[in-house]
Chain A
Amino acid sequence: MVRSNVLSAFLPRRARPIEAGATLFAAALLVAALILPTAGAWMLDDRTINGASMWDKPLKFEMSIVIHLVTMGLIVAAMKPSTRESRATRVVAAISAISGIGEVLYITLQAARGRASHFNSETPIEIAMYSAMGVGAVALVVCAFIFGIMVARSPQEGLGQGAKIGIVLGLTLGASLTLIIAGLMSSGVVDGFGHWIGGVRSDAKALPLFGWSITGGDLRVPHFFATHLMQALPLLGLAGDRLAPRAAKSLVYVGAVVGLAIVAATFTQALLGRPLLAL
């Protein structure tokens, strides 16, 4: 293979460009590999932050990023071949992979150092890194939005209507709502920096597994429901195509409305300073 320019020297040596899906699945596996030692650290480490294990957060982010990257990888397969193999798709996949890996590595490093990653304005480097994480997070959702548009414009032949609408709506809605909610969280406009609104600002007593506040509002609740529209609606569409192909499209529209309602309700609840569940 003739190497035409300097940049190509940075690419792995192989004849064909790496497919976008392969990049995303490899990145997902890389992040998944961190889950085992993180779980080990979660059991072993007695350090806490905001009253919860130092490793709660890396564990949650690693699992979320794996789910996100796998979702993105599967969505590549829903594009028609010419789009799937286009440079734009490969670039979007590479940006997603780098952003996802970067977020997780920094969150894990900060946990190992016993420091906060998000909402940390204690040292110049941590302030800069928190901003960089913001850029990475925005990149992740913008990339998801772009993939949604790509599937809308050039779906794979034979892709079910439910799956298509589910992917398009799930990715564009999920990305937009996530951007709004996470943007509000980092802006500090409502009740200061962070995701807590009223209540006890601690993770010591929180909803098991999710870690959401049980004493006050928590913007992580609508963030969760908004972000996971990216999985929920495509899955709903796929299920519809299998079980009731003629109703699949309507099923996704109903699912989208229900999803929006849940996000709106939990968002309002959080802004009012109320927990999802007061245990």
Chain B
Amino acid sequence: MDWEVVFSATSALAMVSWLALIFLPRWRWVLIALRYVVIAGLGVLYATLVFVYFFRVEGGGFSSLAALSLLFTSSPALLAGWIHYLAFDLFLGTWIAERADTRGLSRIVQAPILVATFMFGPLGYLLYAATELRTAGRASADGASHHG
């Protein structure tokens, strides 16, 4: 099995998906296709790799950094780890986009957050979570004024 081919194919798929999420209008089917076709498909591929290769690496696992390094000396295990990133980052991207739309966050502000999520997952989440402080603050201020 040529893992480089699988790596390139999944990375290209992720790239196209992120471009769609950042630039396309928020048609309902975009989120549905990303979640139930692309991310679910990555899930099938990920699970297949884990089923076949995860337990084959002698001494590899999640118990220590050394065990983790050893696990990732196996190309298919490393590829599974990469697909895990791609799938989870993209899912987080769809979650941020959906929530940001509901909260009325401008697409101009969403774009850099989504790019950050694409490149460095948790950093993008941090940026998005910070933007919620504003609306959360306003919501509690509104609540207070109603009571007052």
| A113:B1 contact, CB within 8 angstroms | no
| A111:B44 contact, CB within 8 angstroms | no
| A45:B51 contact, CB within 8 angstroms | yes
In the complex, residue of chain B having the shortest beta-carbon distance to the beta carbon of A46: B52
Chain B residues with CB under 8 A of A41: 48, 51-52
Answer whether residue A36 sits at the interface, using C-beta atoms and an 8 A cutoff: yes
Interface size class of A (residues with CB under 8 A): 10 to 19
| B55:A114 contact, CB within 8 angstroms | yes
| A44:B55 contact, CB within 8 angstroms | no
A184 to B44, CA, bound (A): 37
Interface string of B33-74 (1 = CB under 8 A from A): 000000000001111101110111000000000000000000
| A112:B55 contact, CB within 8 angstroms | yes
A40 to B44, CA, bound (A): 8
A38 to B50, CA, bound (A): 10
Chain A stretch 8-57: residues in CB contact (< 8 A) with chain B: 34, 36-38, 40-41, 44-45, 55
**Max chain A C-beta neighbours (<10 A), residue from B44, B51, B54, B56:** B51
Q: How far is the CB of B53 from chain A (nearest CB, A)?
A: 9
Chain B residues with CB under 8 A of A113: 55
Give how many B residues have a beta carbon under 8 Å from the other chain's beta carbons: 12
A108 to B50, CA, bound (A): 11
Chain A residues with CB under 8 A of B55: 112-114
Contacting residue for B1 out of A36, A44, A55, CB 8 A: A44
Chain B residues with CB under 8 A of A45: 51-52
Chain B residues with CB under 8 A of A44: 1, 48, 52
Chain A residues with CB under 8 A of B56: 114
Chain A residues with CB under 8 A of B44: 36-37, 40
Chain A residues with CB under 8 A of B51: 37-38, 40-41, 45, 55, 108, 111-112
A44 to B50, CA, bound (A): 11
Chain B residues with CB under 8 A of A108: 51
A36 to B42, CA, bound (A): 12
Chain B residues with CB under 8 A of A111: 51
In the complex, residue of chain A having the shortest beta-carbon distance to the beta carbon of B46: A37
A108 to B47, CA, bound (A): 11
In the complex, residue of chain A having the shortest beta-carbon distance to the beta carbon of B54: A112
A38 to B54, CA, bound (A): 14
List chain B positions with a Cβ less than 8 A from chain A: 1, 44-48, 50-52, 54-56
List chain A positions with a Cβ less than 8 A from chain B: 34, 36-38, 40-41, 44-45, 55, 108, 111-114
Closest 9 CB pairs of A and B: A40-B48, A37-B47, A41-B51, A37-B48, A113-B55, A45-B52, A36-B44, A112-B51, A41-B52
* Interchain residue pairs with CB less than 8 A apart (13): A37-B44, A37-B45, A37-B47, A38-B51, A40-B44, A40-B48, A40-B51, A40-B52, A41-B51, A41-B52, A112-B51, A112-B52, A112-B54
Known contacts A36-B48, A40-B45, then 9 further A-B pairs from the complex at CB < 8 Å, ordered by chain A residue: A36-B44, A37-B48, A40-B48, A41-B48, A44-B48, A111-B51, A112-B52, A112-B54, A112-B55
